[in-house]
A = this chain, B = another copy of it.
Amino acid sequence: MAKADTALVGALRERGLRMTAQRQLVLDAVRELDHATPEQIHAEVAGKAAGVNITTIYRTLDLLSELGLVTHTHLSHGAPTYHAAGVHPHLHFVCRDCETVTELPVETVQELAGKLREERGFDLDVEHLALFGQCGDCRGRA
């Protein structure tokens, strides 16, 4: 097993769960790839250790999400993309025409998040947020 992750081991221990090579590999892959689909993560993990099943990728991503170590967002109709929680937090704008994905700073929705919190008691998951619409280039073309 590669360099064991303190945060991971700690979060697992707290819940009586076990540290495994696969869990470390998946977390490493998410951190390295950024915006990766389960399949891309699988490919990355396979490069480090052969034989890790795609099922384990799915199960581990679910687990890491529950542990708060990774988050995911839906940038298309297809597979979700995962990234490490808290590392370079940002949100996305996806152009429905050219499908370009633009990263936006979390401050973009700070005012919205505050309003939701105060007026509705809602705690917005900023890192999960994907904004859809049309980018300037595509609007000019239309």
Contacts and interface: CB of A to CB of B under 8 A. Distances in A.
Contacts of A125: 96, 132-134
Given A108-B112, A112-B109, A121-B139, A131 B133 contact: no
Interface residues of A, number: 30
Interface string A108-130: 11011001100011111100110
A136 B109 contact: no
25 contacts: A74-B74, A77-B80, A93-B116, A95-B122, A96-B125, A102-B122, A104-B120, A108-B112, A108-B116, A111-B112, A120-B135, A122-B131, A122-B134, A122-B136, A123-B133, A123-B134, A123-B135, A123-B139, A124-B133, A125-B132, A125-B133, A125-B134, A128-B133, A129-B131, A129-B132
